[in-house]
Structure 1
Amino acid sequence: MIPSKQIVVRQFVENLLPTELIRDDPAFKRDGLPDDLYAGHPGVITDATPQHVLVDWVGLEDMYISFATGTSVYYQGGPIHEMSVISKEE
C-alpha cells in the first residue's frame, strides 16, 4: 500500500495485484492489453493525480496500461492499495 504522501511523480513502485487477477480481468484485456504485468512488476509514477494515478510499468511504457489506465485512491487523502513503494535499485 502507498500512503497518500508518497503518491508523487517519479516515485518507484511495484504492482501488488495478483498476477492471475490481472490476466483474468476483462478490463485488462480491453484494447489488447498485455498480460505481461505481474505481481511485483516495477514502475514509476508519472501522474500523481489522486483520481487517476498513472505508472510507467517497466517494459510496458508504450502500452495502454502505462499511459491511460490509472489507479485511484480509495478516499481523499487515502492510500493506494494496489501498489507498494520500492527503491530505485529494486
Structure 2
Amino acid sequence: MLPMIFDAQIGLNVTLTPENEPPPLPSELFRVGQAVALLGDDINVDRREGEPLFFYRGHPGRITDPNGMHILTEWVGFEESPWSFAFGFTAFHDGTCRGLTAITEEEYAIRAKAIAEGKRPTTD
C-alpha cells in the first residue's frame, strides 16, 4: 500500500503514485520559513562528517530566501552545507517551483526526525 500524505496545496489526503506526485510549490508560498520537501530523485552527495549520505526525495527544509530566480532552502541535516546556502531552485514561467513542494509543519517535524535518526524522510 502506498503512503498517504496531507497535501498542503489542496487540503486533501492524496496517495503518492508516479501519476499523482505532490504538486510543485506555487508562487504564493515562496516565503521565508515555508516548510518544503524536495521533489524528484534522491541525490548522492559529497558530504561532511555528520551530514546525511543522501539528499532524499521528500527531504524536508525551510525556505530562507524566496527570490524567484534562486529560491534558497535550509535543508535538515545540511544546515551548514552549500546545499543550504548555494544550491537554489528557479521558479518557472507558470509561477511554480518544480523542485519543491509544500508540506505541513507536522510533516516537516516527522521528516526531520527521520533524518536525525539516519532514516529516509518518507516511505515512498
> TM tier, shorter chain?
0.7 to 0.9
Q: How does 1:23-62 map to 2 (within 5 A)?
A: 23=44, 32=46, 35-62=53-80
- 2:102 pairs, out of 75, 78, 85, with 85
Secondary structure of the corresponding residue to residue 74 of structure 2 = strand
Greater helix share, structure number: 1
The CA distance in 2 between the partners of 1:64 and 1:37, in whole Å, is 12
User: Deviation per CA, 1:50-77, whole angstroms, max 9, x where unpaired?
Assistant: 00100000011100010111111012x6
Q: RCO higher in 1 or 2 (8 Å CA, sep ≥ 6)?
A: 1
Secondary structure of the corresponding residue to residue 46 of structure 1 = strand
1:35 CA drift (Å): 4.5
Higher Rg:
2
Q: How does 1:58-73 map to 2 (within 5 A)?
A: 58-73=76-91
Secondary structure of the corresponding residue to residue 59 of structure 1 = coil
Secondary structure of the corresponding residue to residue 63 of structure 2 = strand
**When the two structures are superposed, what TM-score results if normalisation uses the length of structure 2?**
0.60
The CA distance in 2 between the partners of 1:35 and 1:72, in whole Å, is 25
RMSD of aligned residue pairs (Cα, Å): 1.6
**When the two structures are superposed, what TM-score results if normalisation uses the length of structure 1?**
0.80
- 1:9 pairs, out of 8, 13, 32, with 32
The CA distance in 1 between the partners of 2:99 and 2:88, in whole Å, is 11
User: Deviation per CA, 1:8-37, whole angstroms, max 9, x where unpaired?
Assistant: 110000001211xx23xxxxx6xx457521
The CA distance in 2 between the partners of 1:37 and 1:55, in whole Å, is 13
The alignment-based identity, stated in percent, is 38
